[in-house]
């Protein structure tokens, strides 16, 4: 198969590229390297340094002739979207529509969209939250993800455009960017290894649902191979609090400092966990990595990177 992946130099996208190439597929990557990194790029992939807003995206589709598209390029930080909703919408809505229009124009067999489970459901009262729970995003980032899901559903009804919106939990693992606002595991691990202060919002009792990168990629590829159309949760259905993560990482890294406190963000929510009953039924999938195993693999990767940087 011929695949095109937007955001293929980023955290999740680059792992997806690696897995598809490992399976002997042809892969094209579109990434503007604003947050993605060249060192994440698989040398066997065809790479275009292009923003998803650029009209040249159409030329890539025309030349490379992909059959399936994974749309993973995005501005991913919810708190930044609160500060600048226009910028977030420009990338996550208008940029995404540019990708979708090319998928429609070039008759792509299927498009898999990286949506967000936690951000779309917001402060849900049903935990773990199923796909039929009324969406109630708090952040503009979550609103943008839901908007693209609505566009995808519209395209399907009007044009017969096949898609899956993968409502991902909080994906973590090697290559995650530790320097942004998103990705508490990467942020804490990086700071602990540098013996820097770690900040926890509020009391740290807020929970989310974390999924290791290998499990997320395996599920995503499975979704591209079936006839299912619609939204589906991909995560673990297990709540873990921020303070639990902090304490586990302290033990793994040997960090001696106590957590510093900061204000709870206006777009934050107290609990989050996704039901994966549908994923188990539709793609016969369930996560294989428990949290402690995934956390250790992640910390080991960050330790190796730090040792290489220090050498």
In a domain, 281, yes or no: no
On whether both 20 and 161 belong to a single domain, the answer is yes
On whether both 158 and 256 belong to a single domain, the answer is no
Q: Write the CB contacts of 241 (distance below 8 Å, at least 6 apart in sequence).
A: 204, 205, 206, 207
Phi first, then psi: what are they for 234, rounded to 5°? -130, 105
DSSP code at position 35: S
The burial class, CB within 10 Å (0-12 / 13-18 / 19+), for 288 is exposed
pLDDT at 80: 84
- The answer to whether 269 and 207 are in contact (CB under 8 A) is no
On whether both 296 and 220 belong to a single domain, the answer is no
Is residue 172 classed as helix, strand or coil in its secondary structure? strand
- How confident is the prediction along the chain (311 residues), in pLDDT tens digits per residue? 999 999 999 999 999 999 999 999 999 999 999 999 999 999 999 999 999 999 999 999 999 999 999 999 998 777 788 889 999 999 999 999 999 999 999 999 999 999 999 899 998 999 999 999 999 999 999 999 999 999 999 999 999 999 999 999 999 999 999 987 678 999 999 999 999 999 998 889 999 999 999 999 999 999 999 999 999 999 999 999 999 999 999 999 999 999 999 888 777 788 999 999 999 999 999 999 999 999 999 999 999 987 767 64
On whether both 94 and 192 belong to a single domain, the answer is no
On whether both 131 and 203 belong to a single domain, the answer is no
In a domain, 141, yes or no: yes
DSSP code at position 246: H
- Say how many C-beta atoms besides its own lie within 10 A of residue 251's C-beta: 10
Phi first, then psi: what are they for 223, rounded to 5°? -65, -30
The rounded distance, in Å, linking the Cα atoms of 25 and 33 is: 23
Alpha helix locations (H) across 65-183? 78-83, 85-89, 96-105, 117-121, 140-159
In a domain, 279, yes or no: no
Model-wide pTM > 0.75:
yes
Q: Write the CB contacts of 185 (distance below 8 Å, at least 6 apart in sequence).
A: 172, 176, 210, 245, 249, 295, 298
Whichever domain contains 252, its CATH number is 3.90.25.10
On whether both 28 and 80 belong to a single domain, the answer is yes
In a domain, 283, yes or no: no
On whether both 154 and 188 belong to a single domain, the answer is no
pLDDT at 6: 98
The rounded distance, in Å, linking the Cα atoms of 82 and 63 is: 37
On whether both 228 and 249 belong to a single domain, the answer is no
User: Which helix or strand (DSSP H or E) is residue 248 part of?
Assistant: helix 242-253
- Encode burial over 158-185: b for 16+ CB neighbours within 10 A, e otherwise: eeebbbbbbbbbbbbbbbbbbeeebbbb
Whichever domain contains 115, its CATH number is 3.40.50.720
20: its two tokens: 């598809």
On whether both 19 and 164 belong to a single domain, the answer is yes
Q: Is 141 a catalytic residue?
A: yes
pLDDT at 268: 78
On whether both 74 and 222 belong to a single domain, the answer is yes
The burial class, CB within 10 Å (0-12 / 13-18 / 19+), for 1 is middle
pLDDT at 311: 47
What is the span of the domain harbouring residue 111? 2-171+211-234
On whether both 184 and 160 belong to a single domain, the answer is no
Structural domain total, the chain: 2
pLDDT at 310: 66
Q: Write the CB contacts of 51 (distance below 8 Å, at least 6 apart in sequence).
A: 32, 34, 95
Catalytic-labelled residue, pool 72, 141, 172, 212:
141
On whether both 160 and 180 belong to a single domain, the answer is no
Q: Are strands 199-201 and 170-172 parallel, antiparallel or unpaired?
A: unpaired
The rounded distance, in Å, linking the Cα atoms of 33 and 56 is: 16
In a domain, 284, yes or no: no
The rounded distance, in Å, linking the Cα atoms of 209 and 237 is: 6
């Amino acid at each position: 198969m011929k695949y095109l992946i937007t955001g293929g130099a980023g955290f999740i996208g680059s792992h997806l590229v690696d897995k598809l190439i490992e399976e002997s597929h042809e892969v094209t990557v579109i990434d503007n390297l604003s947050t993605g990194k060249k060192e994440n790029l698989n040398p066997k992939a065809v790479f275009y340094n292009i923003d998803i807003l650029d009209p040249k995206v159409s030329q890539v589709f025309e030349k490379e002739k992909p059959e399936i598209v994974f749309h993973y390029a995005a501005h991913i930080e919810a708190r930044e979207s609160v500060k600048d909703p226009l910028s977030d919408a420009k990338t996550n809505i208008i940029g995404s529509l540019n990708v979708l229009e090319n998928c429609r124009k070039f008759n792509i067999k299927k498009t898999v969209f990286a949506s967000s489970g936690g951000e779309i459901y917001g402060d849900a009262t049903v935990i773990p939250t199923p796909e039929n729970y009324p969406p109630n995003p708090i952040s503009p980032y979550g609103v943008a993800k839901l908007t693209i899901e609505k566009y995808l559903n519209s395209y399907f009804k009007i044009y017969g455009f096949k898609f899956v919106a993968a409502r991902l939990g909080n994906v973590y693992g090697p290559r995650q960017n530790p320097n942004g606002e998103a990705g508490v595991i990467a942020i804490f691990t990086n700071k602990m290894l540098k013996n820097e202060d770690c900040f926890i919002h509020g009391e740290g009792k807020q929970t989310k649902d974390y999924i290791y990168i290998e499990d997320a990629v395996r599920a995503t590829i499975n979704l591209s191979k079936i006839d299912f159309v619609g939204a589906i949760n991909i995560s673990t259905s297990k709540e873990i609090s921020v303070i639990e993560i902090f304490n586990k990482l302290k033990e793994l890294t040997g960090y001696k400092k106590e957590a510093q406190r900061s204000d709870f963000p206006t777009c934050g929510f107290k609990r989050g966990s996704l039901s994966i009953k549908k994923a188990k039924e539709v793609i016969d999938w369930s996560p294989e990595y428990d949290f402690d195993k995934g956390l250790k693999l992640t910390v080991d990767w960050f330790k190796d990177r730090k040792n290489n940087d220090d050498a």
